Structure 1
Amino acid sequence: MARHFYKYHGTGNDFILIDNTRGDFGDLSSKDIAAMCHRNFGIGADGLILLQNTDLADFEMVYFNSDGHPGSMCGNGGRCATHLAQQRSLVGERGTFLGPDGLHQFRINEDQISISMGDVTEVNTLENGLFVDTGSPHLICFVDALNTVNVMAQGRKLRDEFGPSGTNVNFVCQKDGQYSMRTYERGVEAETLSCGTGATAVAIALKEVYGLNQESITLETLGGKLTVSATKKDGHYVNVWLTGPVVFVFKGELF
C-alpha cells in the first residue's frame, strides 16, 4: 500500500506532512524522521508533522524536529497542518487542533492561514535580550543591522547558554517603522527562513519594549511576511494570533 507525504512551507519554513489518521505511520522512528528531513539524502525539511485523530479537537498535530526528536509548538507547522487537514476534508474553514502545547483555533482564508497562540504571561528581561515562551522558548536580541549578524555562530552560542535543551534565538532589527528578523532554531540547529513561534515572540517583545499600541505587527523574515496580533490585558498578552501564507509544494510516496 502506498504511503503518501505532502511537502509544504510557510514563508520558507518547510515541512513533511503526513495524514496519519488511519494509523499507517505508527512505525516511524527518530532515525527514519531524521533521514526523511535530511536535505541531501532525504526529502529535506525543517521538521515532520503527523496529522492524527483526537477526541479533543478536529485533529492533532504531532511535531518532530529535523533531528528526529519530538518538538515543542511550531507555528508555521501548525498553519501548514491546518491547510492539509482542509485539503484532506478533515476540517472546514474554522475549527481547532491539538498541538504540543495545547488547543489552538484556526481560520482559513484561501492560502492565508491564521492560528491562535497561547496567552503570554511573562516577558523576561535577561542580560543578552528578552525571553518569551510562545509554546516554544525564544530569546529575542535587538540589533542595529541583520546583515552583520552571524546567525549560525551567535545563535548557537546563545542557544547553548540555556542548558542542554537550549532555546531558539531571534535577531530583530527596526528601521523606518519596519521590523525584520532572523531565527536560529534548536532541533534544526541552523537558521531557518522563518519561525512562527519566533515571530509571535518577537511581536510580543516589540510591544513590550516600544509600547506599541497597534494590535497587529507585521514581521519580515527571510521567507516572507508574518503578521501577529495580540492584546495586552492586565499585564498579559491575550487573543494572540499568527497569520501568513502557506504553500503546498508537492506530494510523494514513501516506500
Structure 2
Amino acid sequence: MNVVSFRKYHGAGNDFIVIDNRHDDNTTSITSNQRNSMCHRNFGIGADGILEIMSSSTANFKLIYYNADGHVGSLCGNGSRCAIAYVLNSPDNHRSQELTFECNGVLYHGGYISQDNKYYLYMNDVQVNNIYRLDDSNYFLDTGSPHHVQFVTNIQTVNVGEVGSELCYGRYSPHGSNVNFCTRTVDNLIKARTFERGVDRETLACGTGATAVALVAHLHDTRTVVDEVSPVSYDIEMPGGTLKVEFKASKEIISDIKLIGPAVEVFQGSYPLI
C-alpha cells in the first residue's frame, strides 16, 4: 500500500492538506478520486483543498492547488499563504522571510510579517473596468479566481449554501463562480461569508473572496474614487477569522493588492492511498 506524507494547515479556518513533492522524483501519482477522499470530512483527513508543492526553475517553488473535489483549481489566496508559511518554515529555508512561487503559469510573491505573526500574498493587479456592476447590490470580478459579490442587509440570515449554489452553478454555468455575501458594519470593516465552488459549501474563510469583497467595497463607495493613486485598507471579517486586504487604487487600476492573515500548522501525518 502506498502512503503519502502530509501536513495540515489552515488560514482563518480555511484548511488545506500540504504535500511536499519538491525533493521526491518518484512521488506516487495521486488520482482525483484519492484527493477527494483525502479531503472528506468524515472518511479522510478533512480539508477544503490540497496544496501540492513542487520544485521550480523560476521561483522558490511551484504550487498546484486542488479543490476538495479532487480537481485542479484556480488561485487560492489562503492556500497560497499556507504554502508560503510551510516553505518559509521548512528546514532548508535560510532565514528568508520572502519568496516567490508560480501557480497556473503566473509568478506570485509573498512573505512573513514577524511583528504580527501573519503571512501575506501579493495578488495580480485588477483593472477597474474588469469589475462588473450587475446591479446596485451585485458585482462580478476575477481576483485569480472568479467571484460574485452580493451586498446583503443581514449577513447572519443568508442561506449561503442554497443561494450560493444557485448563483454558482445557475448564473455561472457550466464552470461556476465563488459567491460572496457581505455587509459593511463600520468604515473599512466588512463581514463576509463565501460559498466556494469545488468545495461546494460555505468555507470559514476565502482569501480571493476577501480580496474581491474589498475591491468591490472600494468601488461601491463612490466617495473613494479619486484621480490620483490612493492607499486603501479593509478588514474582512469571515466566520473563521479576519483577513486584511491592502491595495492602491486609481480610476483605472487597483494595484499592489496584498492579502494578509494567519497561516497555522495544525498537525502532520501519513495517509494510505487506497
Which TM-score band applies after superposition, normalised by the shorter structure?
over 0.9
Q: Which amino acid in the other structure matches residue 269 of structure 2?
A: G
Q: Which amino acid in the other structure matches residue 58 of structure 1?
A: N
**Equivalences, count:** 255
Q: Which amino acid in the other structure matches residue 83 of structure 1?
A: A
1:240 and 2:238 are equivalent in the alignment: no
Tell me by how many angstroms 1:90 deviates. 5.0
1:114 and 2:120 are equivalent in the alignment: yes
Aligned CA-pair RMSD? 1.6
8 Å CA contact 2:231–2:249 kept in 1: the answer is: no
Q: Distance in 1 between matches of 2:118 and 2:146?
A: 25
Counterpart for residue 61 of structure 2:
59
1:195 aligned residue (206, 209, 216) = 206
Q: Distance in 1 between matches of 2:186 and 2:98?
A: 36
Deviates more, 1:31-40 or 1:20-29: 20-29
Deviates more, 1:106-115 or 1:47-56: 106-115
8 Å CA contact 1:58–1:90 kept in 2: the answer is: no
Q: Distance in 2 between matches of 1:206 and 1:176?
A: 12
1:93 and 2:97 are equivalent in the alignment: yes
Q: Which runs of 4+ in 1 moved over 4 A?
A: none
Q: Distance in 1 between matches of 2:41 and 2:141?
A: 30
Cα distance, 1:55–1:187 mapped onto 2, change above 3 Å: same
Tell me by how many angstroms 1:58 deviates. 0.6
1:172 aligned residue (155, 162, 182) = 182
2:163 aligned residue (145, 154, 171) = 154
Q: Distance in 1 between matches of 2:193 and 2:165?
A: 13
Q: Distance in 1 between matches of 2:195 and 2:144?
A: 16
Q: Distance in 1 between matches of 2:90 and 2:111?
A: 16
The sequence identity of aligned pairs, in percent, is 40
* Secondary structure class of the residue paired with 1:215: strand
Q: Distance in 2 between matches of 1:19 and 1:33?
A: 14
Counterpart for residue 14 of structure 2:
13
Q: Distance in 2 between matches of 1:220 and 1:67?
A: 26
Give the greater-gyration-radius structure (CA): 2
Tell me by how many angstroms 1:254 deviates. 2.4
Q: Distance in 1 between matches of 2:186 and 2:90?
A: 43
Q: Distance in 2 between matches of 1:13 and 1:25?
A: 26
Counterpart for residue 227 of structure 2:
none
Tell me by how many angstroms 1:23 deviates. 3.5
Cα shift readout 1:132-176 (whole Å, capped 9, x = no counterpart): 100000000000111110000100011111111110000000123
Cα shift readout 1:212-253 (whole Å, capped 9, x = no counterpart): 465211110000010001111351111111000111100001
Counterpart for residue 5 of structure 2:
4
Q: Distance in 2 between matches of 1:24 and 1:252?
A: 19
1:137 and 2:141 are equivalent in the alignment: no
Tell me by how many angstroms 1:89 deviates. 3.7
Counterpart for residue 185 of structure 1:
196
Counterpart for residue 104 of structure 1:
108
TM value normalised by structure 1: 0.95
Counterpart for residue 40 of structure 1:
42
Cα distance, 1:45–1:223 mapped onto 2, change above 3 Å: same
Tell me by how many angstroms 1:191 deviates. 0.2
8 Å CA contact 1:219–1:227 kept in 2: the answer is: yes
Cα shift readout 1:22-49 (whole Å, capped 9, x = no counterpart): 2453410001100000001000000001
Counterpart for residue 230 of structure 1:
247
Tell me by how many angstroms 1:102 deviates. 1.0
Q: Distance in 1 between matches of 2:25 and 2:66?
A: 17
TM value normalised by structure 2: 0.89
